[in-house]
Amino acid sequence: MASNIYDPKNETVPPYTGGGPPPVVITQPTVAYQVPVIVGGQMGPKPAPITCRSCNQQIVTRVELKSSTKTHLFALLLCCVFFPCACLPYCIDSCHNADHYCPNCNAYIGSYTN
Ligand SMILES: [Zn+2]
C-alpha cells in the first residue's frame, strides 16, 4: 500500500536559531590601487604634450573618451524630442569625459570633464 498520506514530520524545517547569525564585521583594508596619479589636474579634451612625471618622458597624452552622465541625459532628451538624433551625443566629443594617460607607462595624467 502506497503511503502518500501527508506526514508533517517529513517536512524539513530549518531549526530556529533565535538570534540569527552573528553580525559579520567586514574590515575594509586600505586599498592600494596601483595607478600612479601624476597630475590629476584639469585637462583639455584633446591629447596634450606633457612631461610624464612617472617615466619622465616628454609624451603626448593618450586620451580615452568616456560617455558621461551628460551624454546619456542628452541622448535621453533627444530620444524624446527627435528619435533619430538620440545617438548624436555619443558622436560628439564635447559630450564625453576624456581621461588622459601616458602612452609610455600608462600612468593616469588627468581628466577632462564637462
Ligand atoms: Zn609615463
Reported for 47-50, long-range contacts at CB under 8 A and 24+ positions apart, including other chains, are 47/100, 48/100, 50/100, 50/109
| pTM to 2 decimal places | 0.52
Distance in Å, CA 55 to ligand 1 centroid: 4
Strands of 13-101, DSSP E: 37-42, 49-51, 58-60, 62-67, 96-101
Mean pLDDT of the chain: 77
Distance in Å, CA 50 to ligand 1 centroid: 10
Distance in Å, CA 108 to ligand 1 centroid: 8
Q: Confidence class of residue 48 from pLDDT cuts 50, 70 and 90?
A: very high
